Amino acid sequence: MKKILFVCTGNTCRSPMAEALFTDIIESEGYDDKFLCDSAGVYAFEGDSASPEAIEAMKYYGLDISKHCSKTLDYEMIKDAYIILTMTRDHKRMILDVYPEAADKVFTLKEFADYDEADWDISDPFGYNDKIYSACAEELELALLKILDKL
């Protein structure tokens, strides 16, 4: 199976939401035998849970990320990934600064979804209210639906 790795900063908001949403999308489209989703953070604290707001935002989609445990991005994850989708250009840059050999498989999520370059970043909802998290989840879902055909 090909591993899709979603990367953000702390692996408590955007990337676990993207992981849950895309896992649901590939399952509903019958691709769960071809792809596996995972997530990590460039500055994650190992074992942190998803933020309460991210958990609530995913409930709207019928998804439960309450058991999510954050992971720090490492070489093995980079090596094992088929594609790495970051939430921002800065995340992409950080990865490529340390792992330049991964250049052919690291994209921002919205870059891979063919958005205009000016719109490649997904803002961090951390510290904001449920409304901002819901808007972030909607933004993620729209971008994720666009990438399914590319994989």
Give the residue numbers marked as catalytic: 8, 14, 124
- Buried/exposed 52-89: b ≥16 CB within 10 Å, e otherwise: ebbbbbbeebebebeebebbebeeebbeebebbbbbbe
Q: Read out DSSP for 94-141? A: HHHHH-GGGGGGEEEHHHHTT--GGG------TTS-HHHHHHHHHHHH
Q: List the structure tokens of 139.
A: 């933004």
Report phi then psi at 24, rounded to 5: -65, -40
